[in-house]
Structure 1
Amino acid sequence: MRMPKHIWLALVGGLAGCDGRHSWLAGAGAEARLIEDLFWPFLIGAVAIWTAVMVFAVIAFRRRPKGSDERIGRAIILWGGGVLPAVVVAALLITGLLTLRAMASRPSALTVHVDAEQWWWRVIYETPDGKVFSANEIRLPLGKTTLLMLTSDDVIHSFWAPALGGKLDMIPGRTNRMTLTPVRTGRWGGLCAEFCGAAHAQMRFEVVVMEPDAFRDWLVAESEPAAPSALRMERGLSLFLDEGCAACHTVRGTQANGRVGPDLTHLAARGRIGAGLLALSDANLRRWITHTTDVKPGVRMPSYPAMPPDDLDQITQFLMALE
């Protein structure tokens, strides 16, 4: 028998979601693999129970009505409706709790604070020499467990990097803890998993997993002030300050020390802009500056559609030099 086209499309679409930067089946983190190990027994058990229920339902439907032994009915209610569900639920609960304990008991080599805001992510690394500020991108060393301290400044958000681990709510006034242990290098997608307002669907981030030595070098570079090549672009820096960008953004090594928006000190070293929305490029940066609210409706950064082309060129060149 020929399978209908829509069923083939559904199967292909389902299989396509089993890998990729946003797939929890990608197995890029030890915690994600624990969740996957938990998922398959749950799925198999659910399918087995559903199948058994359907079989009994079909048998009951096809049987001719006749008298039955009351003791058999009571036994079915007791064992099938009471004991069996209690045993299954208890087994699932214990298995889940053991998995959670295994995920939470890993000693961490690094602590990163992630503060969710509408609609972007403030990222702060703890180091022996002090705090290192970044935004919308989290870099982690391969094979090392990182403790994430998650909180929110405004409404409830939810941190989720599917390929690396589970999701956890970020609640104003409270700090929740999560550990991630990457086992594969690469750029993995993350997103907010709790509706938080107009730009919720566009509140994304990237997790970049690096070799430990490369991560250490990057963290040292990230702690430094803005690149000298950017600071030498005096006109671009002057326009950046004059347009009021410094009221919201920080560029270390300059007069810009705003805390409302993301830290831009090393913007050009990141892969994306707009909280993971657009790939970092000269064209996308110009589009973001001039049509911000069109690209990301609800965002609090104003658009500058009437900015003179030469001024836009200068500011874009300055920002692209912030490596």
Structure 2
Amino acid sequence: MNSQNVFDTAGPDGDRLATLAWLLFGGGLILFVAVLGFLLVALYGAARVRRTLGNPRFIVAGGIVMPVVVLTALLLHTLGLARALGLPMPGGEPPLRIEVIGHQFWWEVRYPGTLPGGGIVTANEIRIPTGRDVVLEVTASDVIHSLWIPALHGKIDMIPGLVNRRTIRADRPGAMRGQCTEFCGTQHALMAFMVVAETPPAYEAWLDRQRLPAATPPQHEMGRAVFAAAGCGGCHAVRGTEWDARIGPDLTALGGRLTIGAGTLPMNEGTIAGWIAGAQDLKPGNRMPSFANALDGPELRAVSAWLESLK
């Protein structure tokens, strides 16, 4: 399910939207075939049939009455569907609240109340439990963005200074791709993210891991030192260390995420090194500079190995 597919749905809103899409596609196909059929009859049909098609009553019925009936029925169905979107599950647990902030060109994800005095902060990945309502509270820090998880819901505008809310629910585990769908600058196309739906026990275990401060085993001390010397802490936070900047993504559990660079590359030690060395080559215009000329090979490998170990 690691794809962006409006027909590979995982929740009630996704199912409703997919049903509407099939209805529109199917209805459009029926009308297209009907129009072609009438055209062929008009060109090659018997004279008696052509006279019937030219009857004013037939023209009024097919050209006015039928479109009014069909479009009215479709409008009523769509309005009913719009009212149903985002409705909470009756009698379920209180909804989980997650804050998502759009940046050029990445996603900040916050879980309020999951830590004393604050919450867990991640980036470019939203983890949710299955079978439970989740209220996404979305906004933007710079320009207008739009959050879309095709398998779960329709598009949600992210506007600076305004918080929009949408209730979503995943009914089965899986990884789903999401995307920014409002042009937000040069790297709009590379502003993706992953949603990982897990069973409630797996989700709670993930939260427990996220609550832990970052650890540095002895074999990664060099990487931590390179991170400090290169000034990475001026933009990034790593919980449990002296670095708490919020200009760029929080890196506390970077190695446990599925992608790097907001969906640009899969997560592994090699792609982390490639991103650090050539962020501007891989994603020109993003706010992270390339460090190819600032770090030598051993330094680059050391800091990448340390960051990948943060899970």
TM range (shorter): 0.7 to 0.9
Q: CA deviation at 1:148?
A: 1.1
Work out whether 1:259 is the aligned partner of 2:246: yes
1:217 alignment partner, one of 205, 209, 219: 205
Q: 1:245 to 1:40 in 2, by over 3 A?
A: same
Q: Distance in 1 between matches of 2:215 and 2:84?
A: 42
Q: Percent identity?
A: 39
Q: Distance in 2 between matches of 1:170 and 1:58?
A: 49
Which residue number corresponds to residue 113 of structure 2?
Answer: 127
Q: How does 1:217-256 map to 2 (within 5 A)?
A: 217-227=205-215, 229=217, 233-256=220-243
Does the 8 A contact of 1:24 with 1:165 survive in 2?
A: no
Q: Distance in 2 between matches of 1:39 and 1:93?
A: 14
Work out whether 1:165 is the aligned partner of 2:153: yes
Structure 2 letter corresponding to 1:305: A
1:142 alignment partner, one of 123, 130, 140: 130
Does the 8 A contact of 2:216 with 2:224 survive in 1?
A: no
Q: 1:228 to 1:309 in 2, by over 3 A?
A: closer
Q: How does 1:1-323 map to 2 (within 5 A)?
A: 21-62=3-44, 72-73=55-56, 75-76=57-58, 78-107=60-89, 109-127=95-113, 129=115, 130-227=118-215, 229=217, 233-306=220-293, 307-323=295-311
Structure 1 letter corresponding to 2:297: P
Structure 2 letter corresponding to 1:218: W
Aligned to 2:240, what secondary structure does the other structure show?
coil
Structure 2 letter corresponding to 1:115: I
Q: CA deviation at 1:196?
A: 1.8
Mind listing any 5+ residue stretches in structure 1 that lack a counterpart?
A: 1-18
Q: TM-score, normalised by structure 1?
A: 0.84
Deviation per residue, 1:16-62 (Å, 9 max, x gap): xxx76221221222221121222222222222222222223333344
Structure 2 letter corresponding to 1:166: G
Does the 8 A contact of 1:104 with 1:178 survive in 2?
A: yes
Q: Distance in 2 between matches of 1:24 and 1:196?
A: 22
Q: Distance in 2 between matches of 1:20 and 1:132?
A: 24
Mind listing any 5+ residue stretches in structure 2 that lack a counterpart?
A: none
Q: Distance in 1 between matches of 2:270 and 2:22?
A: 44
Structure 2 letter corresponding to 1:181: R
Q: CA deviation at 1:97?
A: 1.9
Deviation per residue, 1:259-312 (Å, 9 max, x gap): 111010111111211112111111111111111111112211000112122322
Q: CA deviation at 1:226?
A: 1.5
Aligned to 1:158, what secondary structure does the other structure show?
strand
Q: Distance in 2 between matches of 1:124 and 1:109?
A: 15
Structure 1 stretch displaced more, 209-218 or 179-188: 179-188
Q: Distance in 2 between matches of 1:68 and 1:269?
A: 71
Q: CA deviation at 1:123?
A: 0.5
The size of the alignment, in residue pairs, is: 301
Q: Distance in 1 between matches of 2:2 and 2:71?
A: 32
Does the 8 A contact of 2:135 with 2:168 survive in 1?
A: yes
